[in-house]
C-alpha cells in the first residue's frame, strides 16, 4: 500500500471511531492502534491476575465463613476478569503464551498497587473499598471504548466489580464499629492504602503522554486528574460515615469548586514502585512465575490425555 | 513438552427460548475441559442454561474487506420490505 492509501485508510478509521462505530478484530486498523491496544489490554489483564495474590494471602485466614466465601468469590472474579481480557487481547493477533511471557520476564507492567503488602485482615477491606473503587472509576468509561472485544469484556467486568467494593467497605465498617483495636486496624489500613490508591489514576495530566491519543480512541474519556478528583470526592464522605480519617492534612472541602482539595502525591514513590522497587514487586513475580512453572506438568498431562482420547476415538471409528 | 492449549469459542444460551450467543473465548486441552472452564469463566452468576464450545480454528469468518460485495447488494432491494407496497388506507391490518 502506498503512503497516500494508508493515510486515507487512517482518516476513514478515525472517522468511524468519531461516529461511535466499534472496531472489530478483523477490521483494518493502524498498527499503532493495534500495538496500543495490545499493551493496554494486556496490562489490564496482568493486573487482574497479579491482583489475586495480595488477597489470596488472606483466604485461609478470613475471620468467618461469610467473609471467606465472599473473598473467594471476589478473587475468582478477578481470575475471570483476567481471562476475559486476555482473550480480548488475543483477538489482536498476539498469543496467550507471548502475553504470559511478557509478564513473567518483566517486559509488561501491571498495576503498581499490587506491589504493596496485605499485612492485616483490614487490608482486605481497604483493597475492596479503595482499590476496587478506584478500578471501577477507571473502568466504567471503558465500557464504551472503540475496540469491540475490549468494550464487551469491560461491560462484564464492571457488572461484577460493584460487589467487590461493597464487600470491602462492609469489612471496613465492621472493623470501624468494633473494638478500639479493630478500629485502629481499619485506620491503619486506610493510612497505608490511601495514597497508593490515588496513584492508581496515573501521573498528573501535565506528565501524562498518552492522553490526547487515548481520548481519540476512547481508551479514555476523562483525564487522570479528573478521575482522581472524582475518587476523592466520592470516598471522603464514605470514610467519614464510618468514623475513619483520610490520612491527608491538606484535605478540605473547597466550596467554590464543590470538590475536595487534597495534598500532593509522592510521585517519587510511584515511579520507584513502577520501576520494580516497591515492597512486594519481587515476591509477586516469584509467586506468579512459580505458579506457572509448577503447573506445567498439569498442563502437559491434560494435553497428553486429550491426545490419547482423540487417538482412542479415531481407532474406534475405524 | 509444554504444548499450548488450543483456543475455544464459547456460546451461551442465557435462558430457554433464547439463542446461544457468543460470550468470549478461552483455552482448554479438550472439549470437555473447555465446557468446564466456560462454566467457571462465563456463568458464575446464572448467566446460562446451556453452553456450546467450538475450537476457534473450526470457525470460518467472512473478511471485512469483502463487506461491500457481500452486504451492499441487499441495500437497494427495498421491495423486500413491506413499506414498498401501496395498499389503500382502509386496509387496517396488513
Ligand atoms: Fe477485576
Ligand atoms: Fe475487583
What ipTM describes this predicted complex? 0.90
Put simply, the answer to whether A84 touches B33 (Cβ < 8 Å) is no
Q: How buried is residue B85: exposed, middle or buried, by Cβ count under 10 Å (0-12/13-18/19+)? A: exposed
In chain A, whose CA is at the least distance from the CA of B47? A156
Asked if pLDDT for residue B1 goes beyond 60, the answer is no
pLDDT in tens, A128-179: 999 999 999 999 999 999 999 999 999 999 999 989 999 999 999 999 999 9
pLDDT in tens, A35-86: 999 999 999 999 999 999 999 999 999 999 999 999 999 999 999 999 999 9
Put simply, the answer to whether B5 touches A302 (Cβ < 8 Å) is yes
What residues of chain B, 34 to 73, have a C-beta less than 8 Å from chain A? 40-41, 44-45, 61, 63-65
Please give the average per-residue pLDDT across B15-34, as a whole number: 96
Q: Identify the pLDDT of residue A59.
A: 97
pLDDT > 70 in chain A, percent: 100
pLDDT in tens, A87-120: 999 999 999 999 999 999 999 999 999 999 999 9
**DSSP label of B72:** G
Residue A160 with chain B: CB contacts under 8 Å: 45
Residue B14 with chain A: CB contacts under 8 Å: none
With cell 481508551, the residue in question is A219
Q: Which of A104, A299, A300, A313 to mutate to test the interface with B (most CBs of B within 10 A)?
A: A299
Q: How far is A281 from chain B (nearest CA, A)?
A: 27
Please give the torsion angle defined by the CA atoms of residues A95, A97, A103 and A106, in that order, rounded to the nearest 10 degrees.
-110
Whole-prediction pTM: 0.93
Amino acid at each position: 500500500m502506498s503512503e497516500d492509501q494508508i493515510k486515507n485508510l487512517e482518516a476513514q478509521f478515525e472517522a468511524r471511531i468519531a461516529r461511535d462505530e466499534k472496531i472489530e478484530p478483523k477490521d483494518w486498523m493502524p498498527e499503532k492502534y493495534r500495538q496500543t491496544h495490545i499493551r493496554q489490554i494486556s496490562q489490564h489483564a496482568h493486573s487482574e491476575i497479579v491482583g489475586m495474590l495480595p488477597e489470596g494471602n488472606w483466604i485461609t485466614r478470613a475471620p468467618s465463613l461469610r467473609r471467606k466465601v465472599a473473598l473467594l468469590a471476589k478473587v475468582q472474579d478477578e481470575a475471570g476478569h483476567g481471562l476475559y481480557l486476555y482473550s480480548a487481547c488475543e483477538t489482536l493477533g498476539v498469543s496467550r503464551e507471548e502475553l504470559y511471557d511478557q509478564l513473567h520476564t518483566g517486559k509488561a507492567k501491571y498495576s503498581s498497587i499490587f506491589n504493596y503488602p496485605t499485612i492485616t485482615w483490614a487490608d482486605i477491606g481497604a483493597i475492596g473499598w479503595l482499590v476496587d473503587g478506584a478500578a471501577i472509576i477507571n473502568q466504567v468509561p471503558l465500557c464504551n471504548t472503540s475496540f469491540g472485544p475490549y468494550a464487551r469484556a469491560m461491560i462484564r467486568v464492571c457488572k461484577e466489580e460493584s460487589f467487590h467494593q461493597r464487600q470491602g467497605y462492609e469489612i471496613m465498617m465492621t472493623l470501624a464499629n468494633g473494638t478500639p483495636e479493630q478500629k485502629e486496624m481499619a485506620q491503619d489500613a486506610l493510612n497505608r492504602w490511601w495514597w497508593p490508591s490515588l496513584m492508581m489514576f496515573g501521573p498528573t495530566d501535565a506528565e501524562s503522554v498518552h492522553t490526547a491519543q487515548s481520548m481519540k480512541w476512547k481508551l479514555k474519556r476523562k483525564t487522570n486528574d479528573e478521575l482522581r478528583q472524582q475518587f476523592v470526592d466520592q470516598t471522603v464522605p464514605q470514610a467519614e460515615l464510618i468514623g475513619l480519617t483520610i490520612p491527608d492534612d491538606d484535605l478540605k472541602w473547597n466550596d467554590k469548586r464543590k470538590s475536595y482539595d487534597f495534598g500532593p502525591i509522592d510521585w517519587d514513590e510511584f515511579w520507584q514502585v513502577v520501576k520494580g522497587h516497591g515492597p512486594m514487586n519481587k515476591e509477586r513475580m516469584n509467586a506468579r512465575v512459580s505458579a506457572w512453572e509448577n503447573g506445567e506438568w498439569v498442563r502437559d498431562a491434560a494435553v497428553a490425555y486429550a491426545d490419547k482420547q482423540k487417538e482412542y476415538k479415531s481407532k474406534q471409528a475405524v | 513438552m509444554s504444548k499450548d492449549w488450543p483456543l475455544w469459542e464459547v456460546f451461551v444460551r442465557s435462558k430457554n427460548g433464547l439463542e446461544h450467543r457468543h460470550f468470549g473465548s478461552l483455552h482448554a486441552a479438550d472439549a470437555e475441559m473447555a465446557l468446564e472452564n466456560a462454566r467457571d469463566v462465563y456463568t458464575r452468576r446464572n448467566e446460562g442454561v446451556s453452553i456450546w464450545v467450538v475450537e476457534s480454528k473450526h470457525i470460518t469468518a467472512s473478511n471485512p474487506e469483502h463487506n461491500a460485495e457481500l452486504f451492499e447488494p441487499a441495500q437497494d432491494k427495498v421491495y423486500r420490505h413491506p413499506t414498498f407496497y401501496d395498499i389503500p388506507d382502509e386496509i387496517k391490518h396488513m
